[in-house]
Amino acid sequence: MMTGEQYKKSLYDNRETYFEGERIRDVMKHEHLADCVARIAAGYDRFYKPGANAVSDLMAIPHSAAELRDRIPLLHESDIVANVTYQAIMTLTTAATRIADILPEFSKRILEYVRDAQRRDIRIVECITDAKGDRSRPPGKQDDPDAYTHVIERRKDGVVIRGAKLHITGASLCHELMVIPTKAMHPGEESYAIACMVPVNSPGVRIVDTTYAPRHRDLRDFPVSAKTHMPEGFVIFDDVFVPNERIFLDGQVAQAAIFAHSLGLWERLGGLSGMAEEADQMVGFAQLIAEANGLAKESHVREKISEMIIHATLIRAALEAAIANCQVTSEGAFPNELYTNAGKYHGAANYNLMVRHLHDISGGSVLTAPSIADFENEVTGPLVRKYMGTMNGVDGEYRARLFHAIRDMTADAFGGWKAVTNVQAGGGLYAQRIVTRRYYDLNGAKKKALHVAGIDMGPDGQKTGH
Ligand SMILES: Cc1cc2nc3c(=O)[nH]c(=O)nc-3n(C[C@H](O)[C@H](O)[C@H](O)COP(=O)(O)OP(=O)(O)OC[C@H]3O[C@@H](n4cnc5c(N)ncnc54)[C@H](O)[C@@H]3O)c2cc1C
């Protein structure tokens, strides 16, 4: 396993990263990336175990519902790149299990890679979302054939790929890029059915970063994003060579979607567990600010908070159902698809309403509360403390700190990131609707409806009268 120091050293590998028009020469000295590196390194130190065969508690494969559940608090306390690495490890394990009968060689290769990645204790990010060009057209019918990542050249020892994967969280701070097809492929699209592992410093890999990092350096005004922000990478594969031993799918169009579906399951479980935690936090903020404003007993405020409590409880229940109903195989424990997708959808689809309740209850100081430094200024400090206070026992700075956390979480750069991420990450609401419908027992529901209507089922299970 790696220590934090070893992780930091591993980043000096000539990776090609850009930010706002300039090449980043040293990620550890960059204004918006240095503290991300420090957080990832701290995570390494926290989970470090000596020994050649040691595996991080974050990277180990869960084998039961209890192990799936126990992993969640560890992930919540970890950085996003560690979370994504766990999801990548589980995606590969899930895909290997699902293709084992049809593509045993690739399945074996994937599982060997997983063991090796665990041993090397590397960080992996998920590169699935292609540039995609005209969304109404398939990969092979785009004006630009590179709109979806594809194989452009075949060599005896490997392939050369070209394309771009967008919105790749933490790409410039990881070691390897897990490249998988973004959706199902069809005959004629063989060159797009490519799954492989690419070291981030491979010649031709170029990453353009964006960030929702705090917009000034006094992090006390950004209590949420200061501890969580991570760069989002626009990852370009500008003719990148991939050796044979790192290829996990190559032209088998019928199996292309298995990788995306496997990733969707783990992405959405991660999203669901994150939303369960954040929903509780939002209830907490709503109640605290209502109390600080003197309105906790007001009926319309109580109703909104009750609605937020129901939302938080249902998300938590879906998470619990997804884990309790997991499928246990010899390769590991896999969360239940139906509850994972339905829960993630419900949480994401109703998130904005919960934010609206929180903003409605809180008032305008969510946006305008003076900074903590203003409380420390000898002229403004006593004045802002006086006027931000509301009653005996509610100090102005305490109330301002609540507002800063609410703004940072829901109404500033991180809040905007969160609002879009909730809807899009894990494949978007549309994808979650499709998967939920696929795993729901629709025939069972029809039978129940026929029974209630008093319409007989025929011996072959078909309804009579038609
Ligand atoms: C902050 C953030 C982090 C992310 N992290 C990662 C990551 O680490 N790795 C990764 O691979 N991806 C990541 N994603 C990408 C995420 O999965 C995509 O944003 C999502 O799948 C939507 O793709 P898109 O952004 O290209 O939007 P589009 O595909 O353009 O979708 C926009 C809308 O159009 C609809 N649509 C698109 N195509 C069709 C069609 N053919 N028919 C009907 N409707 C259609 C969609 O359902 C959606 O409603 C991240 C996204 C965000 C916002």
Length of the chain, in residues: 466
Decide: helix, strand or coil at residue 88: helix
Q: Answer whether 32's CB lies under 8 Å from 211's CB.
A: yes
Q: Say which range, 346-350, 374-378, 379-383, 457-461, has the weakest mean pLDDT.
A: 457-461
Q: At what angle do helices 65-76 and 256-292 cross, to 10 degrees?
A: 60
Tell whether the torsion through CA atoms of 435, 438, 441 and 447 is positive or negative: positive
Confidence of residue 456 (pLDDT cuts 50, 70, 90): confident
Q: In the predicted model, is pLDDT for residue 465 greater than 70? A: no
Q: What is the best residue among 424, 430, 432 to mutate for testing ligand 1's pocket, by most ligand atoms within 8 Å of CB?
A: 424
Q: Residue 207 C-alpha to ligand 1 middle, in angstroms? A: 18
**Residue 205 pLDDT class (50, 70, 90 cuts):** very high
The CA distance from 250 to 128, in Å, is: 15
Q: Write the residue with the smallest CA distance to atom 13 of ligand 1.
A: 167
Q: Would you say residue 36 has pLDDT above 90? A: yes
Of 2-11, 424-433, 435-444, minimum mean pLDDT range? 424-433
Question: Which residue, judged by its Cα, is nearest atom 51 of ligand 1?
Answer: 425
Mutate to test the pocket of ligand 1, among 129, 209, 420 (most ligand atoms within 8 A of CB): 129
What pLDDT, on a 0 to 100 scale, did the predictor assign at position 32? 93
Strand order in the sheet with 247-250: 124-127, 176-179, 194-199, 247-250
Would you say residue 142 has pLDDT above 70?
Answer: yes
Q: Can you tell me the mean pLDDT for 72-76?
A: 95
Number of helices and strands (H, E) in the chain? 16, 12
C-alpha 428 to ligand 1 mean position (Å): 6
Looking at residue 82, the DSSP 8-state letter turns out to be H
Instruction: Mention every residue, 6+ apart, whose C-beta is less than 8 A from residue 98.
Output: 258, 262
The reported pLDDT for the residue numbered 461 is: 61
> What DSSP letter does each residue of 250-311 carry, written as one string?
ES-GGGHHHHHHHHHHHHHHHHHHHHHHHHHHHHHHHHHHHHHTT-TT-HHHHHHHHHHHHH
CA–CA gap between residue 84 and residue 173 (Å, rounded): 12
Q: Which residues contact 267 (CB under 8 A, 6 or more apart)?
A: 87, 126, 425, 426, 427
Q: Report how far ligand 1's centroid is from the alpha carbon of 128 (Å).
A: 10
Helix axes 413-424, 337-362, angle to 10 degrees: 150
- Please report the pLDDT score of residue 428 as a whole number: 87
Q: What is the pLDDT of residue 425?
A: 87
d(CA 141, CA 102): 28
Question: Measured from the CA of 126, which atom of ligand 1 is nearest?
Answer: 9
pLDDT digits (tens, 9 = 90+) for 37-70: 999 999 999 999 999 889 999 999 999 999 999 9
Query: How far is residue 105's CA from residue 69's CA, in Å, rounded to a whole number?
Result: 32
CA of 233 to the centre of ligand 1 (A): 14
pLDDT score recorded for residue 52: 87
Pocket test residue of 167, 176, 198, 345 for ligand 1, highest count of atoms within 8 A of CB: 167
Q: How far apart are CA 108 and CA 74, in angstroms?
A: 29
CA 143 – ligand 1 centroid, Å: 20
Q: What is the mean pLDDT of residues 278-293?
A: 98
The span from the CA of 429 to the CA of 421, in Å, is 11
Q: Residues lining ligand 1, CB < 6 A? A: 125-129, 132, 135-136, 165, 167-169, 232, 417, 420-421, 424-425, 427-428, 430
Q: What is the DSSP letter of 454?
A: T
**Residue 81 CB-half CA count within 13 A:** 29
The stretch 259-264 carries a mean pLDDT of 96
- Residue 426 has a pLDDT of 85
DSSP character at residue 340: H
The closest residue, in CA terms, to atom 11 on ligand 1 is 128
pLDDT, tens digit, 9 for 90 and up, residues 119-131: 999 999 999 999 9
Q: How far is the CA of 32 from the centre of ligand 1 (A)?
A: 25
The ligand 1 atom at the shortest distance from the C-alpha of residue 431 is 47
Total-model pTM = 0.94
Beta bridge partners of 232: 169, 210
User: Nearest to residue 37, comparing CAs of 135, 170, 176?
Assistant: 170
Ligand 1 center from residue 69 Cα (angstroms): 28
Q: What domains are there in the chain, each with its CATH number?
A: 258-444 (1.20.140.10)
Separation between Cα atoms, residue 417 and residue 149, nearest integer Å: 26
399 and 406 Cβ atoms separated by less than 8 Å: no
Quote the mean pLDDT of the chain.
96
